[in-house]
Amino acid sequence: MNQDTGLTRLVKAFGYSVAGFKAAWLNEAAFRQELVLSIILIPIAFWLGENGIERALLISCLLLVLLTELLNSAIEAVADRLTQERHPLIKRAKDAGSAAVFIALCYSVLVWGLVLWS
């Protein structure tokens, strides 16, 4: 049984997070593209946002895309570990993850459009 608490647990959790980012960067082209786009757009959000709320909206929707992509990648990795054969439930899980990323991307376009248009 794992008895890690306090600082030890936090350090290990941070290490797992770094490993997750590294795995996503190495194995997921979509994550790389979205991360590079976020690195470009986040400084622009500070410049274009007229107040803290606008800046927070512009940045948080980009972070939502990255978060959703990481979860989608996790779903796909688990599904691929279970089987490489076509199965309707695996397809449903992968399609749902893809749809979640699509919604996050659409939300980002909507937020950026509304903030920049107003």
The per-residue DSSP string of 35-66 comes to HHHHHHHHHHHHHH-SSHHHHHHHHHHHHHHH
Whether 7 is in a domain gets the answer: no
Average pLDDT over residues 29-42: 98
Residues placed in the known binding site for a divalent metal cation: 28, 76
Average the pLDDT over each of 16-25, 35-44, 82-91, 107-116 and give the range with the smallest value: 82-91
CATH number for 47:
1.10.287.3610
Residues placed in the known binding site for substrate: 9, 30-34, 55, 69, 98, 112-117
Residues placed in the known binding site: 9, 16, 28, 30-34, 55, 69, 76, 85-87, 94-95, 98, 112-117
Whether 108 is in a domain gets the answer: yes
pTM comes to 0.90
Whether 51 is in a domain gets the answer: yes
pLDDT at position 2, please?
63
pLDDT at 1 over 70: no
Catalytic: which of 64, 69, 101, 108?
69
Domain carrying residue 50: 29-117
Q: What is the C-alpha to C-alpha distance for residues 58 and 111, in angstroms, rounded to an integer? A: 7
Q: Does 69 participate in catalysis according to the annotation? A: yes
Whether 21 is in a domain gets the answer: no
Q: Which of 66, 68, 49, 47 is nearest to 58 (CA)?
A: 49
- Beta-carbon count within 10 A of 104 CB: 21
28: left (phi over 0), alpha (psi -120 to 50) or beta: beta
Average pLDDT over residues 93-116: 97
Whether 59 is in a domain gets the answer: yes
Q: How far is CA 70 from CA 2, 6, 32, 45, 77, in A?
A: 26, 26, 11, 22, 10
